[in-house]
Amino acid sequence: MEKPPLKKPPLISIIIPAYNRLGYLEKCLESIKLQKFKNYEIIVVDDCSTENLSGVAAFCDKYVLNNINMGPSYSKNLGALNSSGEILLFLDSDVVLLPGSLEKLPEIFKSDVR
């Protein structure tokens, strides 16, 4: 039995904890912006980087700065607290999404309802 398509796509909160590695982070953000699925918010949590990452704030919906380096788990939780999406997607700053990656997520979540 085929499931009917979703009426309104859910908001996906893409949470990216970042510590330095600006070049990787820029490629990650670019791969997100190239997605056809557009119902998302990008939250970058800067974990007290020694590199200046504040320039990426223009390319994300929320830029959260930790004043103390707390590690990726803390940064992911902080990103989740600042999110408003129905689906949370955690990406490392060196991840590059393949085309169509975000389009598949809502259907995967819908089909895995228990």
Answer whether residue 22 shows pLDDT above 90.
Answer: yes
- Cβ-Cβ contacts under 8 Å for 3 (sequence gap 6 or more): 110, 111
| Two tokens, residue 39 | 């119902």
Q: How confident is the model at residue 1 (pLDDT cuts 50, 70, 90)?
A: low
pTM of the model: 0.88
Average of per-residue pLDDT values in the chain: 92
Q: Of the CATH numbers 3.30.70.2080, 3.40.50.80, 3.20.20.70, 3.90.550.10, which one belongs to the domain with range 12-111? A: 3.90.550.10
CA contacts within 13 A on the Cβ side of 24:
13
Q: What percent of the chain has pLDDT over 70?
A: 92
> What pLDDT score was predicted for residue 110?
78
- pLDDT tens, 29-46? 999 999 999 999 999 999
Question: Looking up tokens 């904890």, which residue turns up?
Answer: 17
- Give phi and psi for 96, each to the nearest 5: -115, 120
For the chain, domain boundaries: 12-111
> What pLDDT score was predicted for residue 91?
98
CA distance 13 to 85: 5
| Two tokens, residue 50 | 């020694």
Q: What percent of the chain has pLDDT over 90?
A: 80
Contact 69, 48 (CB under 8 A): yes
> What pLDDT score was predicted for residue 109?
80
Other C-beta atoms closer than 10 Å to the C-beta of 27 total 15
Answer whether residue 97 shows pLDDT above 80.
Answer: yes
Instruction: Please give the residue that has the higher pLDDT: either 78 or 112.
Output: 78
CA proximity to 87, closest of 6, 9, 1, 12: 12
